Structure 1
């Protein structure tokens, strides 16, 4: 330790002091001094040179100890994390649970025997893959390389080396003859799909630029809706508003209030609160909220299903089977976390006037928490590209795009002709959009009409959301392919649902 007070004492150390903070509290080193001028002079005495060499050696030793200490700390942190990850994967595979099982992803109940066999096959395949990988590594480091004449079949001798040589030669033959061709085919297919996706994105960007350059914007054929307070006759058809929800204790009040404040004649629209909650407390809270708005004059109803078959698709299907639905011409859907603006219906419904081929009007999403953290900012960029480029370009040039499941107005006749809501996939919105398009209905996307919602702020919520969104497209492709082939549509209408909506 350096003295705290050195008045009147000539300072003999000219080096630069280095303060080292140790993570381990057991260390008691407070200061290490750099080399002094005496260590750098060649004309000093031998004793001074020995002292400098000893000091530098001690400093090097402490630096090495510090680096070793940090490396040991990193290894100590990595090892528990790795063991925790392996144990979590082992528990998940052993129990056969997936994200769809946790979230209730809309799948039918599977046979436990078939499920167990499937996961057993996966575990056996993984173990075999790890074993073959280890075998390849050992063969590489041992130099067990064979030329073409040595790949012929022969009977192994009793030596251990010969047994390994025989197994390795057989594995190379199987890999070259049976595994390499399909892998090469899959690689080529992935390259082709990547090129298709890249060309699709390039065309979409050029289309978006053309829309901005020409200022193309959907305009209602029948003109704007008259002001409700003016008393003039306007286009005010019967509209059914549906709010499907399930255990939405945090956001049900905002969504119900926003829908009840829609600027539309009270006698011309009905609100259905479709509650699939299994929590009695949540059910009672939503009932009280609905009763409160009923007392204020809102035309709102509460529906609850005891048997939750089909999840959201089953909930919407059950609500459409009500006898009073036949009195309504259009239906709009808002998820529980969406809050439309009061003029939402006045900006969307007029597009249906004098346009009998129009089946869907989709609005854009806006996010109230887009600047919350890095994850929400990245999601905002991704979804803005989806709405600004994909949806808008497909709407203008193809009259088709994927329904986003909420913030859209459907013509009930289009839903009925398409077969209504089906419970066969977890992407019921994409399913109904493809079937309606194959029946000849056209869609319009309004980029200037926004409906507020929230983005997942945690990675766990984001992962579950993405799993729900991406778990059904390939299943839908398999189910809709026969209908796409049989449908009487042109080449562009055929390629749009097949490549732009299902495959990406």
Structure 2
């Protein structure tokens, strides 16, 4: 159905066409008018149109007030930030630190005095630099002012009395550095040989993997598993669970949880965990000493004194943060079969938090080299290495033969390993058997751990030196123990690393008469760092932080070495390394089946246990609600003092570089003048020295400043004094 035409619209359209006839026509003259013009205003106003507009006095006053308020706010923010920084620094400086870091520390006082001396020398060099004495040093005879006389006397004392002993000490440290570097290279070559030849310990038999049938357990020896711990509430569940689920007949294994905790809530938690696994059929015991003496060695010694120990043949030791794999015993125990002289089987450590932060990455570099290179090479070639204190299986007869655990040092693991080696026992290291553990994630915890690890060996060396000399082992083993195991790797390494790079290197910058070769400062340390990182190739991007980190830790290691060697008070201090309770992925999978039932079983056990009761439960709930002490950042004074020493030395080195550039330009400027002076001097003394006219060019400025190898002549020419070196005698004559 069609629509009727709209006549009204047609009429309106015709009228519009008549009014705008020019727009609708196609005349060529009006072709250029077929567009619209639109005015678009810019976002930025035209300054030319508004430049004549002036602001009123009211607007100007408001603008001034606004600017003044912004300036006042900025000044207030800067002032508050500066005051906050001062208060924080004052609080940290006035706060008490541990004895090893306190101001009463002997080493800290020495480093502070050294910093004062370095800053004083830097001030003297700054005065000399601005006076221009780097170009023409003053002499004591021609000095006019007191400052000039002091600097001239300082130059003479520096060259005659300070530089020679410093150079001698530097030469000694360089020799020690080269010896230690050669030891590292030999260890790396031994590790390379092991990799190429695929050498590794092999067992005479193997146990089948999987769960052990209860009827066929005669081939499995009796194994005692010990877990020493002390107030480690973050990790006790992981270690106990990992040990209890190992693939070993339950009737052939006994687990001892050796708790030295002095906190009541930690004791209750650990005891409850032990009872939970005991109800599941695991042979597990909880031991707590009333008199906790001897630290870890005393704890292990007390556990080995039980009557039922005589029924067991081997003992496996795991620290509280270690999580052995279920097949750990099946991979380690077979190596004892057929090797009656084998005392220890040591497994490698693996770390669940090695990528947590920069500190754990740097620790992983050192420990990877220790296990991959040091332990493996020593285990393959000489069947001896230091026991790492955990993740190892001992033959109980070997422990009893060498005297058992002793409490005389803080490194009881190294102590018993040395005594067992002196008794003729052998060790085996398994690099392919890994036991996961946790690295300290804070610098404070790592520093305390390293202090104990480096002070204990010096205590042990002082105590067992005579025993080594009087032992029945051959001379090669005695030499290896004394010179390599103790002196080179435990004493010389921290001594030269601190003395050479933290003391001698800054002093040679302030005393340029004593020199360190560039290969000692740059090339050899770089090569050694690359060798250290090779066992952990993923850590190559951290090679520069690793170098700085090792220089920083050299202070702690040197202090610990001195404390242990000279029996200082804090060398016998044992501090448990702080743990955070991190688990590996394998542990999470292994514990998944246990997690669902553990909560209900633990709750029911706690409610029905006659040991704890409601009173103990109430105490446990109260202690769990205690407020945790807030942590604060510490100020490590010794490390900061050493940093300021190196910073001052860097400033002095910058002045030396600037002075050498200026002297070079100054030499070029005075070359013609010195040429004339030298020629006149040679012409005057030609009859005395027998120099012909044709040979005068040999004594040009290039020979006198650059060609002569005499140290005194070079120094004198560097000072730009008018002295010459004769061709025949090589002596000085004043012009």
- TM-score normalized with structure 1 length: 0.70
SS of 1:472's partner is: helix
Deviates more, 1:438-447 or 1:279-288: 438-447
Task: Give, in angstroms, the shift of residue 10 of structure 1.
Answer: 7.6
Q: 1:97 aligns with which of 93, 96, 99?
A: 99
357-366 or 316-325, which deviates more? 316-325
CA contact (8 A) 2:254 2:284 kept: yes
Partner of 1:196: 179
Counterpart-to-counterpart distance in 1, 2:289 and 2:297: 13
The secondary structure found in structure 1 opposite 2:170 is helix
Compared CA separation, residues 352 and 171, structure 1 to 2 (3 A) = farther
Aligned to 1:216: 199
Q: Residue 455 of structure 1 is aligned with which of 439, 454, 458? A: 439
- Per-residue deviation, 1:189: 3.1
For residues 123 and 199 of structure 1, what CA distance do their matches in structure 2 show?
Answer: 30
Instruction: Describe the shift of the 1:8–1:234 C-alpha distance in structure 2 as closer, same or farther (beyond 3 A).
Output: farther
Structure 1 unaligned segments of length 5 or more: list them: 1-6, 14-69, 102-114, 152-158
What is the CA–CA distance in structure 1 between the aligned matches of 2:392 and 2:108, rounded to whole Å? 44
Q: Which residue of 2 aligns with 1:278?
A: 262
CA RMSD between the two structures = 4.3
Specify the alignment match of 2:92 in structure 1: 88
- When structure 1 is superposed on structure 2, of 488-497 and 380-389 the one drifting more is 488-497
Q: Does 1:314 align with 2:298?
A: yes
- CA offsets 1:107-152 (integer angstroms, 9 cap, x no match): xxxxxxxx9695896598468646754674476458699999959x
2-structure distance, mates of 1:386, 1:480: 23
Asked if 2 retains the 8 angstrom alpha-carbon contact of 1:247 and 1:276, the reply is yes
Structure 1 segment 58-97 matched on structure 2, within 5 A: 84=88, 88-89=92-93, 91-92=95-96, 97=99
Aligned twin of 1:396: 380
2:190 to 200, 203, 207: 207
**Matched residue of 1:449: which SS?**
strand
1:489 aligns to 2:474 (yes or no): yes
**Alpha carbons 1:96, 1:119 under 8 Å: kept:** no
What SS is found at the alignment partner of 1:244? strand
Q: Distance in 2 between matches of 1:196 and 1:490?
A: 21
Residue 78 of structure 1, CA deviation: 9.0
* Mapped pair 1:411 → 2:404: no
SS in 1 for 2:286: strand
Structure 2 residue 400 is matched with structure 1 residue 427: no
* Residue-by-residue CA offset, 1:76-106 (whole Å, 9 max, x unaligned): 97997688557635644xx66236x9xxxxx
Higher mean C-alpha deviation, range 332-341 or range 365-374: 365-374
Structure with higher helix content: 2
Change (3 A) 1:121 1:388: closer
Contact 1:329 1:411 in 2 (8 A): yes
Deviation (angstroms), 1:470: 3.1
Contact residue 245 and residue 276 of structure 1 kept, 8 A: yes
Give the 3 Å change call, closer, same or farther, for CA 150–479 of structure 1 in structure 2.
Answer: farther
- How big is the shift at 1:405? 1.2
- Separation in 2, partners of 1:169, 1:447: 62
Q: 1:465-500 CA distances to partner (integer Å, 9 max, x unpaired)?
A: 333333433333333333333333332544442356
CA contact (8 A) 1:376 1:456 kept: yes
* Structure 1 contact 247–277 (Cα < 8 Å) conserved: yes
Kept in 1: contact 2:332–2:393 (CA 8 A): yes
Is it true that 1:468 corresponds to 2:452 in the alignment? yes
> Which residue of the partner structure matches residue 345 of structure 1?
329
SS at match of 1:339: coil
C-alpha distance 468-142 of structure 1, shift in aligned 2 (>3 A): same
After superposing the two structures, state which structure 1 stretch, 419-428 or 196-205, moved more: 419-428
Change (3 A) 1:117 1:472: closer
Are the equivalent residues in 2 in contact too, given 1:313–1:428 (CA < 8 A)? yes
> Alpha-carbon deviation of 1:210?
1.6
Partners in 2 of 1:398 and 1:167 — Cα distance? 60
Secondary structure, in 3 states, of the residue corresponding to 1:363? Answer: strand
CA distance in structure 2 between the aligned counterparts of 1:192 and 1:75, rounded to whole angstroms: 53
Please give the alpha-carbon distance, in whole angstroms, between the structure 2 residues aligned to 1:371 and 1:121: 36
Structure number with greater CO (CA < 8 Å, separation at least 6) is 2
Does the alignment pair 1:8 with 2:12? no
Name the CA shift for 1:213/1:309 in 2 (closer, same or farther; >3 Å): same
Deviation at 1:372, TM superposition (A): 3.2
User: 1:126-180: per-residue Cα shift (whole Å, max 9, x none)?
Assistant: 68646754674476458699999959xxxxxxx9x65x78987887787777765
Contact persistence 2:342–2:426 (CA under 8 A): yes
- Greater Rg over alpha carbons, structure: 2
8 Å CA contact 2:138, 2:149 repeated in 1: no
Distance 1:404 1:217, change over 3 A: same
Unaligned stretches of 5+ in structure 2?
1-37, 45-73, 494-735
| Distance in 2 between residues matched to 1:220 and 1:251, nearest whole Å | 32
2:308 paired residue among 312, 316, 324: 324
Change (3 A) 1:249 1:126: same
Query: d(CA) in 1 for partners of 2:90 and 2:385?
Result: 41
Contact 1:276-1:305 at 8 Å conserved across structures: yes
Q: The residue matched to 2:386 in structure 1 has which SS?
A: coil
How many residues align? The count is: 423
Cα offset, 1:347, TM superposition: 1.0
Contact 1:226 1:232 in 2 (8 A): no
TM-score by length of 2: 0.50
Alpha-carbon distance in 1 for matches of 2:348, 2:179? 26
Q: Deviations over 1:272-327 (max 9, x none)?
A: 11111111011011111111222222221111123332222222222223333233
Q: Distance in 1 between matches of 2:297 and 2:149?
A: 57
Partner of 2:422: 438
Preserved contact between residue 139 and residue 152 of structure 2 (Cα < 8 Å): no
Tell me, yes or no, if the aligned pair for 1:226 and 1:233 is still in contact at 8 Å: no
Which stretch of the first structure deviates more once superposed, 237-246 or 172-181?
Answer: 172-181
CA shift, 1:382, in A, is 3.3
Contact 1:235/1:350 (8 A) holds in 2: no
**Could you say if the C-alpha distance between residues 86 and 296 of structure 1 is closer, same or farther in structure 2, counting changes exceeding 3 Å?**
same
Cα distance in 2 between the residues matched to 1:130 and 1:242 = 52
In the alignment, what sits opposite 2:577?
none
1:225 is aligned to 2:245:
no
> Could you tell me which residue of structure 1 aligns to residue 490 of structure 2?
502
